[in-house]
Structure 1
Amino acid sequence: MKKMIVKGGQKLSGEVTIGGAKNSTVALIPAAILADTPVTFDSVPDILDVHNLMLILKSMNVTSQFGHGVLQIDPTQIEANPLPGDAIRSLRASYYFMGALLGRFGHAEVGFPGGDNIGPRPIDQHIKGFEALGARVEAKQNSVEITTGPEGLHGARIFFDLVSVGATINVLLAAVKAKGTTVMENVAREPEIIDLATFLNNMGAHIRGAGTNEIRVEGVEHLEARNTHTIIPDRIEAGTYIAFAAANGDGVLVKNVITEHLDPFLAKLQEMGVTLEIDEDSVYIPGNDQLAPIAIKTSPFPGFATDLQQPITPLLMKARGKSTIIDTLYPKRIKHIPEMNRMGGDIKSEDGVITVGPAGKLAGTTVEADEIRAGVSLVGLALMAEGTTTILKADNILRGYDRIVEKFRGLNVELKVVTSPDQLETK
């Protein structure tokens, strides 16, 4: 495992360009195996999840090349091979291969996915959707096997019992090649789902309603990539840098932002008293504002994103009074709290309510990044602290944040990622 060394007392200044959305990318790569032609993606973030997905592709005889934000995938020689357990266990989004393989071959066997441990994220809604399309689902000891009969998948009406991004994406990937019409109701509305539907439609799929609570899919037999698909900007990465700039910045310009995707987040910052200069595709944060406490309640899009609950915490610690957070999606997403308290924070979690008090004297120490968003929030706090902070399990941060060392350098902040006792990684 890698660790990140962060020297405190560094203020952010300058500009940063946001990369492609992680949560789009991890769905688009499995979706690429549905194509009958090579596929090219642009604005691909250079994160560990992408490299793990490329390993999974390789196991299916799908070649891929990645460099300078461009990912080329050739699924024309794909083989229905078992997927590698290690890559599957390290990456929750690997379960999107269930829907993609089911659409491509009518059969999928995928190990139980891993990823961040932020509480239960069951796949019962995925299974419900697959079964409605005519698949049989069998849970084995360490995997799920999904099969169809000779007649293949057929269209169906599916009402999800709860709004699930994962189930919406997975069932959509299977329904694209099912015979007839599929109507998916009570679906997630995230921008990343619209991005996926746009990619599939550009290849010849017939998907309507992405971004609303009902998606209609007319199944097709073939999908062909004709153009490079540019991935939408990552709203969570953008929100992270904006929050850090508001907490500890001296003039930061965040570029390549679709500000509409961040409306509830930006509204909360303005409620705190953060000065924001919002342009068509960028946000400028002058910094040094007097801040008031706020109450946050996460909810599915278009509400306040659960993925920004932890990155906003260092900013809340600068407010004059106690702020509260209720995470309705992942109430167990609290692994950052003991680590921040060890640095001098005043944060409590009781009965599903997180209370964030003003920070006193913050001091660097050794902490652990147990998952992506908890880890990056520690980076933001470490920059505000005195002394040096060592963040263990930094691989979790690198899983989700594109070229984070390089981007912080552009903001006049030095981070170091230690890969061995005598080697420092700076990319």
Structure 2
Amino acid sequence: MKKIKITGNRPLSGEITISGAKNSVVALMPAAILADGIVTLDGVPNISDVDSLIAILEIMGVSVTRDGETLTIDPSGLKSMPMPYGKINSLRASYYFYGSLLGRFGTATVGLPGGCDLGPRPIDLHLKAFEAMGAEISYEGDTMTLKAIDGQLYGATIYMDTVSVGATINTILAAVKAKGRTVIENAAREPEIIDVATLLNNMGARIRGAGTDVITIEGVESLSGTRHQVIPDRIEAGTYVALAAAVGQGVRVTNVLYEHLESFIAKLEEMGVRMTVSEDSIFVEEQGTLKAVNVQTSPYPGFATDLQQPLTPLLLKAHGQATIKDTIYEKRIGHVAELARMSADIEVKGDRIAYQGGKRLEGAEVKATDLRAGAALVIAGLMAQGETIISNVEFILRGYSNIIEKLSALGADIQLIEED
């Protein structure tokens, strides 16, 4: 079993470079199979989610070559086949193959998790969009089949009942080769959606409005290969900026797009964090007294739900008491009990997390309950007095590229260890 071992309370300094966006690349890779030629992605992070997607692509006959941060995808050998059961359920973002396979072949057969309740579920908006474009959906055992009635999807006007990044991207993937015009209303506006639309437009798609709440797609008959640079990961950037404010003595975070982090930076400024924002980097100074603030997540460009947990350890350093409310994922509270094990004064009260800052954290044995909770525990471990052991680190390795090496370079005493 892999674990992360941290000896905390050591000041960090130096420079840390942000990798390509996890939430982009997990959609860009499925998007690549819509092309008739080779797609090359630069800036691909070294994370386990990418490894899982490569395995899925190779099972389907796609040739994938990796050279450092460059991924070359040749879909010429792609076969229309049922998605590999187990692999398709190993990561949530594999559902982007639903849209890309529908767009490419007019059909997709995918495995469902065992015992899945086919009532209300997270992919309802995706399925609603596919049905609006002419796909029929059927179930047999643990398998779901999506199939265009005559092998061809048709453009439609689709209103998203709630703002959903995944459903917006999946609808775009299905619509780029559909006949006619597709209009997505109440679309999500995240930078990762713009990144996917940019790749597809460079392949020959006709997508307008990405980054706004109305996206229009004019279907095309074919898409060609291209080369694409993945945008920097705004969640990784926010995580390391928060870490630098918590335990840094002068840390520069590079390869950052400030405009993707405006609401997060505004909250740090409200706390009193001292930093200098440049064109593509943020220099975080050693901090003085910080102020406790209330945090509430909301869809982009609001405060990102993915940054709620990584910010929490820094909030625990601030003086005063305040609350955190996640309006996107109300049950995103797995980090609370683990931080309490480290002597944090934090608890769940109703629909909010209540915290009292200013209490010193103590090292403990804790477990990552999800990706961003794991990031919070890493930061807390670096802040804490003594030794912290984090289990379930597979969650962390899903989304933070070379995290051990990056933090070690700043002076952190952090190791990835193996235990029976």
- Please state if 1:78 is matched with 2:78: yes
Contact 1:90 1:113 in 2 (8 A): no
Deviations, residues 218-274 of structure 1 (Å, cap 9, x unaligned): 001111123x20000000000000001111110000000000000000000000000
* Contact 1:271–1:294 (CA under 8 A) maintained in structure 2: yes
Rounded Cα–Cα distance in structure 1 between residues aligned with 2:7 and 2:156: 55
Paired residues, what number?
A: 415
In structure 2, distance between residues paired with 1:9 and 1:299: 33
In structure 2, the residue matched to 1:267 is 266
Which residue in the other structure is 1:312 paired with?
A: 311
Equivalent position SS for 2:31: helix
> What is the TM-score when the length of structure 2 is the normalising length?
0.96
Shift in Å, 1:2: 1.7
CA contact (8 A) 1:363 1:387 kept: yes
- Cα distance in 2 for residues equivalent to 1:229 and 1:21: 13
Mapped partners of 1:87, 1:151: distance in 2: 26
Once the two structures are superposed, residues 50-92 of structure 1 have per-residue CA deviations (whole angstroms, 9 ceiling, x without a partner) of 0000010011001111131001111011001222222222200
Gaps of 5+ in 1: 115-119, 422-427
Contact 1:108/1:146, CA 8 A, preserved across alignment: yes
State the match for 1:218 in structure 2.
Answer: 218
Whether 1:303 aligns to 2:335 is: no
- The residue matched to 1:322 in structure 2 has which SS? strand
Partner SS state of residue 338, structure 1 = helix
Aligned to 2:241: 242
| 1:113 Cα deviation after fit | 6.7
What secondary structure sits across from 1:390 in the alignment? Answer: strand
Question: What residue is the counterpart of 1:177 in the other structure?
Answer: 177
Residue identity opposite 1:340 in structure 2: L
Give the share of equivalent positions with the same residue, in percent: 54
1:400, 1:357 → 2: CA distance?
29
Q: Distance in 1 between matches of 2:362 and 2:151?
A: 64
Matches within 5 A, 1:40-79: 40-79=40-79
Which secondary structure state, in structure 1, belongs to the residue aligned with residue 353 of structure 2?
Answer: strand
Whether contact under 8 Å (1:180, 1:219) holds in the other structure is yes
Separation (CA, whole Å) in 2 of partners of 1:113 and 1:414: 39
AA in 2 matched with 1:164: S
How many Å separate the matches in 2 of 1:66 and 1:163? 34
Q: CA RMSD in A?
A: 1.4
Structure 2 residues not aligned, in runs of 5+? 115-119
2:297 maps to a residue whose letter is: T
Counterpart CA distance in 2 for 1:356 and 1:112 is 39
Give the whole-Å Cα distance in 2 for the aligned partners of 1:293 and 1:166. 33
Aligned partner of residue 78 in structure 2, secondary structure: coil
Separation in 1, partners of 2:366, 2:303: 27
Q: Secondary structure at the match of 1:97?
A: helix
Query: Do the aligned partners of 2:275 and 2:282 also contact (CA within 8 Å) in 1?
Result: yes
Q: Deviations over 1:322-343 (max 9, x none)?
A: 1211100001000001111001
Normalised to the residue count of structure 1, the TM-score between the two structures is 0.95
| d(CA) in 1 for partners of 2:250, 2:113 | 41
Give secondary structure in 1 for the equivalent of 2:86.
Answer: helix
| Displacement after TM superposition at 1:151 (Å) | 5.2
* Alpha-carbon separation, structure 2, partners of 1:170 and 1:308: 23
The answer (yes or no) to whether the contact 1:405–1:414 under 8 Å persists in 2 is no
